[in-house]
Amino acid sequence: MFIAGKWEEAAGGRRFDVTNPANGEVLADVPDGGAQDAARAIDAAFDAFPGWAGATAYDRSRALFKAWQIMMERKEELALTMTREQGKPIRAARNEVQYAADFLQWYSEEAKRVYGATIPSARADQRFITLRQPVGVVAAITPWNYPVSMITRKLAPALAAGCTLVLKPAEATPLCAVEMFKIFEEAGFPPGVVNLVTAGDPAPIGEEFVSNRKVAKLTFTGSTPVGKMLAGRAAAEMKRVSCELGGHAPFLVFGDADPVHAAKGAQLVKFLNTGQACISPNRMLVQRALVDDFVGTLSERVGSMKAGNGLEDGITIGPLVNQAAVDKVAAQVEDAAAKGAEIVCGGKRLTDGGLDKGFFYAPTVLAGVTPEMRIYREETFGPVAPVIAFDDDDEALAMANDTHYGLAAYVYTQNNSRAMRMFEGLNFGIIGINDINPTSAAAPFGGMNDSGLGREGGRDGIDEYLETKLGGFSI
Ligand code: ADP
């Protein structure tokens, strides 16, 4: 753990193991922190806050830029750690490291653009001026699926704004966080500005984060139930909250789209990170006339994916995170099949060739999915593409919006009017129009309804860490 500029053990002296989900190998152990450690880290961040908030925007920018430079030098090392700890194929890990580094670079620039305003008054003897100031100590909780980029997506804007912080990474992926904090240490952030608490049991740390009066803001990425619970607790203390939670993205393919092109896009985005992404499509809604061509191309491509250890050549899909994830995927597929869905490819656990030591499930395509099936509403977070037919635009839009989630949606159409109607009508925070990667450090990422509160990335991302203060001057 990294507290007040020093590497520390947990107060209780305990440690916990970190394993490789591809083969069960123990990779390392890390300190198993508790509430007392979280409180120590919050104290350190609180004490460092006046100095960091009072540093110039140029100082903060330089430290972030330095962290970006070191990260670029360590790209390969970070990617290797990520593949071992999280399981994604090495190429995907490299892409994630680049995406993660982009946040450090972008917010090193944005740090210098935190502008206030002058506002005309109705009184001749009055002047209004606003200041934008950092909210204070930030507590951050990040998930295991994108174990490096979810850190920088929160920390870079918080640090650029002048906040100090404590991070608790997911228990499955603390090693990526440790590597990132070595980079922050070398980049020269003053002691206490960035603090890391690792823990095998997240609950006591979460409780300290939401109850400690020194914490001004909680930023959380993870599941909807945990996010709602923590946001509720934080609201009782009137803390600021941002949450990036689950999703159930529709992927709409209209009759005027090229079904082969759409199916290629669907395969690339659905099976990225073994489907363990909050923006992963969870319903492929395809206009009836295109269903056969779409399913044909999709299943052909999915059938040729190669599962295994992401460090080996030719592996295109990694393991799931743990046994519970495999069981959830298997249960959704069995439920769909029992209610009449067709398993076009996959549909089983993978155990041959040593895969039984890890958590593998075959990439799967289901056709003929209907609203009675669990997968129609429940987030899968796994490698299953359920295909559902629709007849017209109104039905497609109604089906797409028929969810409590509201994170990402995808639309394939060649018709500009339809594209705009869908962009306006879909109740989701991120819409990819003929595009499977609508994400960037420069663009706002976040959802509506059960998918969360607030935005990360871009100009909106730094607003989450700033207070607006009004000055009314009588002259
Ligand atoms: P998932 O089911 O995808 O692992 P979680 O919401 O459980 O999603 O995990 C996301 C993050 O939330 C992780 O860092 C995890 O440790 C943390 N977390 C889970 N439960 C709690 C809790 N009760 N308090 C604080 N953090 C928690």
Please write the tens of the pLDDT for every residue from 337-356: 999 999 999 999 999 999 99
Residue with CA at minimum distance from ligand 1 atom 10: 222
Which one, of 269, 256, 253, 246, lies nearest residue 385 by Cα? 269
Pocket test for ligand 1, best of 219, 221, 226, 245 (most atoms within 8 A of CB): 226
Tell me the per-residue pLDDT of 123-167, one tens digit each, with 9 for 90 and over. Answer: 999 999 999 999 999 999 999 999 999 999 999 999 999 999 999
Ligand 1 atom index nearest CA of 321: 4
% of the chain beyond a pLDDT of 90: 100
CA distance 439 to 225: 25
Residue type, 148: V
Q: How far is the CA of 229 from the centre of ligand 1 (A)?
A: 11
* 43 CA distance to ligand 1 middle (Å): 23
Catalogue the E-assigned strands of 296-416.
342-345, 364-367, 384-390, 408-412
Count the Cβ atoms, other than its own, within 10 Å of residue 416: 9
CATH superfamily of 249-402+408-433: Aldehyde Dehydrogenase; Chain A, domain 2 (3.40.309.10)
The angle formed by the CA atoms of residues 243, 457 and 431, to the nearest 5 degrees, is 80
Contact between residue 372 and residue 352 where contact means Cβ atoms under 8 Å apart: no
User: Which residue puts its alpha carbon closest to atom 22 of ligand 1?
Assistant: 203
Using alpha carbons, list the distances in angstroms from residue 257 to 252, 300, 425: 10, 19, 19
Spell out the residues 6+ positions from residue 292 whose beta carbon is closer than 8 angstroms to its own: none
Distance 128 CA to ligand 1 centre (A): 43
97-107 pLDDT, tens digit per residue, is 999 999 999 99
Q: Do domains 2-246+449-474 and 249-402+408-433 have the same CATH topology?
A: no
Determine the pLDDT at residue 321. Answer: 96
Please state the rounded mean pLDDT for residues 199-211.
98
Mean local confidence (pLDDT), 413-427: 98
Atom of ligand 1 nearest to the CA of 168: 14
**Cα–ligand 1 centroid distance for 52 (angstroms):** 29
Span from the CA of 461 to the centroid of ligand 1 (angstroms): 22
**Top mutation candidate among 145, 154, 210, 223 for ligand 1, by most atoms within 8 Å of CB:** 223
Q: Using DSSP, state whether 408 is helix, strand or coil.
A: strand
pLDDT digit string (tens) for 359-409?
A: 999 999 999 999 999 999 999 999 999 999 999 999 999 999 999 999 999
Residues present in the chain in total? 475
Rounded distance between C-alpha atoms, residue 246 and residue 205, angstroms: 21
Q: How far apart are CA 37 and CA 196, in angstroms?
A: 10
Separation of 180 CA from ligand 1 center, angstroms?
Answer: 20
**Beta-carbon contacts of residue 24 (< 8 Å; ≥ 6 apart):** 357, 358
All structural domains of the chain with their residue ranges:
2-246+449-474, 249-402+408-433
SS3 category, 366? strand
Residue nearest (by alpha carbon) to ligand 1 atom 18:
202
Whole-number pLDDT of residue 393:
98
Q: Can you tell me the distance from the alpha carbon of 145 to that of 381, in angstroms, rounded to the nearest whole number?
A: 10
Cα of 226 from ligand 1 centre, angstroms: 6
Mean pLDDT across the chain: 98
Largest CA distance in the chain: 80
Fold entry, domain 2-246+449-474: Aldehyde Dehydrogenase; Chain A, domain 1 (3.40.605)
Q: Which residues contact 102 (CB under 8 A, 6 or more apart)?
A: 440, 441
Tokens 């779409």 map to which residue?
294
Ligand 1, atom 2: closest residue by C-alpha:
223
In sequence order, what are the beta bridge partners of 323?
A: none
Beta carbons within 10 angstroms of residue 255's beta carbon? 18
Query: Which atom of ligand 1 sits closest to the CA of residue 223?
Result: 6
Nearest CA to ligand 1 atom 27: 202
The ligand 1 atom at the shortest distance from the C-alpha of residue 170 is 14
Return the amino acid letter for 352.
Answer: D
CA pair distance 295, 387, nearest whole angstrom: 8
Cα dihedral 206, 88, 277, 282 sign: negative
Question: Which whole-number Å values give the CA distances from 386 to 62, 288, 341, 421, in the listed order?
Answer: 47, 14, 9, 24
User: In 450-472, which positions are buried (b, 16+ CB within 10 angstroms) versus exposed (e)?
Assistant: bbbbbbbbbeebbbbbbeeeeee
Atom of ligand 1 nearest to the CA of 199: 16
pLDDT of residue 346: 98
Select from 383, 429, 389 the least CA-distant residue to 409.
Answer: 429
Ligand 1 nearest atom to the CA of residue 381, by list position: 3
Q: What is the DSSP letter of 50?
A: H
Q: Which atom of ligand 1 is least distant from the CA of 206?
A: 25
pLDDT grade, residue 88 (50/70/90)? very high
Write out residues with Cβ below 6 Å of ligand 1.
Answer: 141-143, 170-171, 202-203, 206, 222-223, 226, 230
Residue range 267-315, pLDDT digits in tens: 999 999 999 999 999 999 999 999 999 999 999 999 999 999 999 999 9
Mean pLDDT, residues 227-256 taken together = 98
With the most atoms of ligand 1 within 8 angstroms of its CB, the residue from 86, 141, 326 to mutate is 141
- How many angstroms does the Cα of residue 168 sit away from the middle of ligand 1? 10
Residue pair 258/266 in contact by the 8 Å Cβ criterion: no
Determine the residue type at 295. Answer: V
**Predicted confidence band of residue 242 (pLDDT cuts 50, 70, 90):** very high
Q: Which residues are catalytic?
A: 244, 278
Q: What strands, in cross-sheet order, belong to the sheet with 6-7?
A: 6-7, 2-3, 194-196, 164-168, 137-141, 215-221, 240-244, 452-453
Instruction: Give, using CA atoms, the residue closest to atom 15 of ligand 1.
Output: 170
HEC string of 262-280 equals HHHHHHHHHCHHHHCCCCC
pLDDT of residue 375: 98
What is the b/e burial string over 202-229, where b = at least 16 CB atoms within 10 angstroms of the residue's CB?
beebbebbbebeebbbbbbbbebebbee
**Among candidates 256, 68, 247, 280, which has minimal Cα distance to 159?**
68
